[in-house]
Chain A
Amino acid sequence: NAGVTQTPKFRILKIGQSMTLQCTQDMNHNYMYWYRQDPGMGLKLIYYSVGAGITDKGEVPNGYNVSRSTTEDFPLRLELAAPSQTSVYFCASSYLLEGADGYTFGSGTRLTVV
């Protein structure tokens, strides 16, 4: 049972480039999330999804887009990368909304924008 799988693990982007962070879960969870973690800060919610075809903004959505075409996949798209998007990104899923039963996180993507 793989849980939540994220790719890539590391990436360096130049300012203005775009990329997609992939996230797949095999637990049949309806709820999926993208968080970013900056040094000394708590995780911040970027986007979340309550099911296939339904997504909504979190606390820090600017500069990002998501889609949810299947229950399993929840990719995060960065358009026109900026240095402020340098961060560690975690995808997560949960059985209950808002992780009331606990979140399962992927191993993270460490992104640097130069």
Chain B
Amino acid sequence: RKEVEQDPGPFNVPEGATVAFNCTYSNSASQSFFWYRQDCRKEPKLLMSVYSSGNEDGRFTAQLNRASQYISLLIRDSKLSDSATYLCVVNAPPNTGGFKTIFGAGTRLFVKA
């Protein structure tokens, strides 16, 4: 099983749609979770952190489900500018014998007019 797994997509949605992505992780002791956005041929940029209580930033909502070991990203009222690849990032707990930030391969989203 991959340490961090994402549905690669692509997800093709019309403008105004609501779309959700999930990301599963294998290490139950993982502590920090993030969503990054990566535009085509650009660097990843932090979209939002994912807290145990969930968090919301405008049209974006991130949730963490520790019992089932996944995080989710919900985008409401999709815009053309939301078209990008969304990367799930998971940090292993400290003192595990080394550096362990794991990037998912990403989920591609296309929003069409």
Could you tell me which A residues sit within 8 Å of B by CB distance?
35, 40-45, 48, 56, 58, 90, 97-100, 102-108, 110
B108 CB → nearest A CB, Å: 11
Q: Is the CB of B91 within 8 A of A43?
A: no
Instruction: Say if the beta carbon of B43 comes within 8 Å of chain A.
Output: yes
Q: What is the CA–CA distance of A6 and B91 in the complex, to the nearest angstrom?
A: 25
Could you tell me which B residues sit within 8 Å of A by CB distance?
4, 8, 32, 34, 36, 41-46, 49, 87, 89, 91, 94, 99-106
A46 CB → nearest B CB, Å: 11
How many residue pairs, one in A and one in B, have C-beta atoms under 8 Å apart? Answer: 51
Q: What is the CA–CA distance of A88 and B10 in the complex, to the nearest angstrom?
A: 21
Complex A-B: 19 CB contacts under 8 Å: A40-B105, A41-B105, A43-B103, A44-B103, A45-B101, A90-B43, A97-B99, A98-B32, A98-B91, A98-B100, A98-B101, A99-B91, A99-B101, A102-B34, A102-B49, A103-B36, A103-B46, A105-B44, A108-B42
Q: What is the CA–CA distance of A35 and B36 in the complex, to the nearest angstrom?
A: 15
Q: Is the CB of B105 within 8 A of A90?
A: no
Q: Is the CB of A42 within 8 A of B106?
A: yes
Nearest neighbor of A40 in chain B, beta-carbon distance:
B105
Beyond known contacts A48-B99, A98-B100, A102-B49: 10 more, CB 8 A cutoff:
A35-B103, A41-B105, A42-B104, A43-B103, A90-B44, A98-B99, A102-B34, A103-B36, A103-B46, A106-B43
